[in-house]
Structure 1
Amino acid sequence: MTGTHAGAPPGHRTSRSLAWRVGTPVVALLSGSLLAVSAANSDGTDLRPGRYTDMAGLVEAEANDYQGVEDRLNELTDEVDQLGARVSDRGVNLARAEAAELRDPAGLTPREGQGLRITMQDAPDELVDEAIEFNKQADPEDRLKLNRFVVHQQDIQAVVNALWAGGASAVTIAGQRVISTTGIKCRGPVVQLQGVPYSQPFVIEAVGDQSGLLEAIDADGLVSGYRTDAANSQIGIGWSMEAEERVKAPAYDGLLDLQYARPLRN
């Protein structure tokens, strides 16, 4: 039985094959052109495509999902603690004492004291629109990179790392305690911490000696680059820094699921 359909006119299969051979490269070429135009307009960066969507609903929904998982985890943890409390063993007691000593450096106890508050956010929409119009008429070497108008995860990470380097004893983002396993990820116009989305503005607070924190912020090259863009009236990305006499950093109460790689064995 041949590959042609019953009743198909002679040459039908040949014409379809020819159409596919000609049409497929054309479609691929057009798709590539669209991707190239998109990449050129965005300067290779995701320029917050979700900023015009219902972000409040998205944040609330995802936060509720996470809260349900965390509530269940807390229930199971309490049950394990109750069962473990019934165990009386020298080794267990030593392990409990060691764990208690590590709670504070691990971020599992609250901290409070003087420190800094830093606020970051995307540049206003009108400045982005002005930059797009400016780029249409400017020479290529004079055009503004549109990714400089957006807060990226590396910008937030640079600030947090500088605060740690300045001697911070505790750091929070959006009021959530940052610990060694905290993952900072940008997803559209929000930042995710431990899988929970937080919308702008992004408020970072640190407990520690203010002079040491300020020196570390001023000395960090990545943070300085961001602050230069904030001072540029054409870009105006959001930045403010305030010294606070009392900064409260709550204890970390999220998931403590540690994941690590295992070496392959031959």
Structure 2
Amino acid sequence: MTERPHRAGRGAGRSAVRGTASVGLVLALAGLMFTANARLASSQEARHPQDLGELADRESSRVEMLAARVDGLRAEVESLTDEQIETIETGDADAAELVAIAAGRAAVTGPGLTVQLTDAPAGRVRHPDATPDDLVVHQQDLQGVINALWAGGAEAMALEDQRVTALTAFRCVGNVLSLGGRVYSPPYEVHAVGDPRALREALMAAESVQTYLGYVARDGLGWSVTEEESLALPAAELGGGLTHARVPDGVDVFPTGARGRGDLAAAGAGDAGAGR
């Protein structure tokens, strides 16, 4: 028998063409998907920055914008409050002035002290038992200074550039100070108008201040007290007020060993944090 050479049929030829076309279609779809994913990732990165520095810059800009809005609203509140006060008959002008000073609504100028506290510098040789928590200024450190100055007869006070009143509240978050909607970095300054000698004596007699000075000597925390011939403290920024208050049932208003006026005035300056 004569052998005939084998030839592929028409069906086989069509199958090869369809297979080639399928592979091409799959590759085309894959390329389209890769292109779409790349575009989507690019748009998401534009909306949500992956770089931490860029993200911090954007958030800082947003904070500045909100702070500007807050300042504008505060100015509006102060203007409306001034208009309201001008329509009220105060009677004794001297008494009204004293009330305004005590409430922090009037700017004050006079002699006093500036107390500065700051974190321990980096690279300094420290006590072997020192922890990172020992090397920064804490909320209770500032609270102790403020209370001591009130007890020493301070007539008015400011923390950084803001007036301290019964409504003042501040909080230390990490190594920064949050006060009145603003954030401050060390060094922190407390300004007090009053008799410099009496203020210094009360400051150095305070137990909380002596505790802080122990860490100054041991770990290098910053501390300085400067007598000022003339301090100019601004009026408090109005951000709201108390509508009413009452003493809780069963609480003695003037218990034995009651604190002085200064301590009561400073009580609103933030809850004291955990002791060192």
Same-fold call, TM > 0.5?
Answer: yes
> Are residue 168 (structure 1) and residue 136 (structure 2) matched?
no
Partners of 1:169 and 1:57 in 2: CA distance: 42
- Normalised TM-score (structure 2): 0.59
| 2:105 pairs with one of 93, 103, 108 | 108
Alignment correspondent of 2:195: 209
Q: 1:81 to 1:180 in 2, by over 3 A?
A: closer
Partners of 1:210 and 1:57 in 2: CA distance: 45
Alignment correspondent of 2:266: none
Partners of 2:160 and 2:64 in 1: CA distance: 13
Partners of 2:76 and 2:92 in 1: CA distance: 20
| 1:93 pairs with one of 85, 89, 92 | 89
Cα deviation for residue 73 of structure 1 reads 3.6
Aligned letter for 1:165? A
Aligned letter for 2:213? R
CA contact (8 A) 1:158 1:223 kept: yes
Cα deviation for residue 63 of structure 1 reads 5.5
Where in structure 2 are the equivalents of 1:225-244 lying within 5 Å?
Answer: 225-232=211-218, 235-244=219-228
CA contact (8 A) 1:62 1:196 kept: no
Where in structure 2 are the equivalents of 1:181-196 lying within 5 Å?
Answer: 181-196=167-182
Alignment correspondent of 1:65: 66
| 1:257 pairs with one of 241, 246, 251 | 241
Q: Secondary structure at the match of 1:70?
A: helix
Q: 1:99 to 1:71 in 2, by over 3 A?
A: farther
Alignment correspondent of 1:78: 79
Q: 1:165 to 1:82 in 2, by over 3 A?
A: closer
Q: Work out the number of aligned pairs and report it.
A: 194
Larger Rg: 2
Alignment correspondent of 2:230: 246
CA contact (8 A) 1:111 1:170 kept: yes
Aligned letter for 1:154? Q
Q: 1:260 to 1:122 in 2, by over 3 A?
A: farther
Cα deviation for residue 231 of structure 1 reads 2.0
Partners of 2:105 and 2:85 in 1: CA distance: 19
Cα deviation for residue 249 of structure 1 reads 0.9
Q: Secondary structure at the match of 2:226?
A: strand
Partners of 1:190 and 1:55 in 2: CA distance: 16
Aligned letter for 1:169? E
Q: 1:257 to 1:229 in 2, by over 3 A?
A: same
Aligned letter for 1:74? A
CA contact (8 A) 1:70 1:255 kept: no
CA contact (8 A) 1:63 1:197 kept: no
Cα deviation for residue 160 of structure 1 reads 0.5
Partners of 2:236 and 2:151 in 1: CA distance: 20
Partners of 1:75 and 1:189 in 2: CA distance: 33
User: Unpaired runs of 5+ in structure 1?
Assistant: 1-53, 136-142
Q: Secondary structure at the match of 2:109?
A: strand
Q: 1:187 to 1:60 in 2, by over 3 A?
A: farther
Q: 1:241 to 1:64 in 2, by over 3 A?
A: farther
Partners of 2:216 and 2:238 in 1: CA distance: 33
1:64-102 per-residue CA deviation (whole Å, 9 max, x = no partner) reads 5234123124325535765887x7xxxx53599886662
- Normalised TM-score (structure 1): 0.61
Partners of 2:56 and 2:111 in 1: CA distance: 33
CA contact (8 A) 1:70 1:254 kept: no
Cα deviation for residue 122 of structure 1 reads 0.8
User: Unpaired runs of 5+ in structure 2?
Assistant: 1-54, 248-276
Q: 1:241 to 1:177 in 2, by over 3 A?
A: same
Q: 1:222 to 1:101 in 2, by over 3 A?
A: closer
Cα deviation for residue 55 of structure 1 reads 9.1
Cα deviation for residue 236 of structure 1 reads 0.1
